Amino acid sequence: MDDQAIEAKTAAPQRGMKAITGEEFHLAGALGGLRGVIETGAPGMIFVTVWTITQSLWPTLISAVAAALIAVVLRLIQRQPLTYAFSGVLGITLGVLLAWRSSGGGADDAQAAVRFFLPGILTNVFYVVASLISLATRWPYVGVTVEMLRLGFTERHAGQEEGRNPFKGFTAWRRDPHLMRRYTIATWVWIAGFMLRLAVQVPLFFADEAGALGVARLILGTPLWGLTLWLTWIIVGGAHTKEAEAANDDDTALPAEA
């Protein structure tokens, strides 16, 4: 991908992890705009609200599922990307299945309701383990993700139009001690976010506090994700500017990564 293509991609606000690769960081754009925030948080907000009012499992689950499905249907009608809406449906569906199985196994509503949050908890456990492994193997998770986005790995037929192999040169960043340092620090920031969620949610899960879990999920969901993206952009966002790359080329004191 040439410099002009990169500039064109970074001119507009990027969403999700792509926001880290931009020259400027736009929080609203990174979170998918107001609509993306609503689609991500509405099922959880409705879960907390209905559970607080009814203390009943099925009205709570049905309301949360309905909110997620409405977001998907509206996206389909308007022929818009389903990224945020579909991710909400997937998480909700897994949670509902676990809650349903728990209720059928003799658990009361409170015990069954907390199972709704188990997929999210396990997802954070997975990311903690995966990120730690990435650091131990010197392939920091944030570095792999950002470099894949920069090289267009997530785009269909990336590099084929120009007859170039998109994988060529992918490992170059690992030979740059400055980039490795930035990506390592950023990965630790991500681990801290995952661990914070677990530190709050796991005790609530074992205490069968469904309402408190819902509130914790809202607070530690989109707001924490936005903060994590912003901190990551601060740490790695300027790593590929011409000034930074020139400074890295001039610095020969640090050995290159193997």
Q: What is the share, in percent, of the chain residues with pLDDT greater than 90?
A: 30
**Range from 56-65, 110-119, 136-145, 234-243 carrying the lowest mean pLDDT:** 234-243
DSSP state of 108: -
Long-range CB pairs of 145-150 (<8 Å, 24+ gap) are: 145/17, 146/17, 146/20, 146/21, 146/183, 146/236, 147/173, 149/17, 149/18, 149/20, 149/21, 150/1, 150/6, 150/21, 150/240
C-alpha 216: how far from chain center: 17
Residues whose CB is less than 8 angstroms from the CB of residue 200 and which lie 6 or more positions away in sequence, other chains included: 216, 220
- Decide if 164 is inside a domain: yes
Residue 183: its pLDDT value, please? 95
Residue 170 in any domain: the answer is yes
- Global pTM reads 0.77
**What are the pLDDT digits (tens) for 154-172?**
544 444 445 555 566 678 8
Range of the domain at 76: 3-250
Q: Is 257 a member of any domain?
A: no
Query: Does 215 map to a domain?
Result: yes
CB 64 within 8 A of CB 39: no
Residue-level pLDDT at 191: 97
CB-CB neighbours of 146 under 10 Å: 26
pLDDT above 80 for 225: yes
- In tens, the pLDDT along 30-41 reads 887 777 787 778
Give me the number of domains the chain comprises.
1
Helices and strands (H and E) in the chain: how many: 12, 0
- Does 7 reside within a domain? yes
Q: 234 pLDDT band (50/70/90 cuts)?
A: very high
Whether 39 is covered by a domain: the verdict is yes
Percent of the chain scoring above 70 in pLDDT: 74
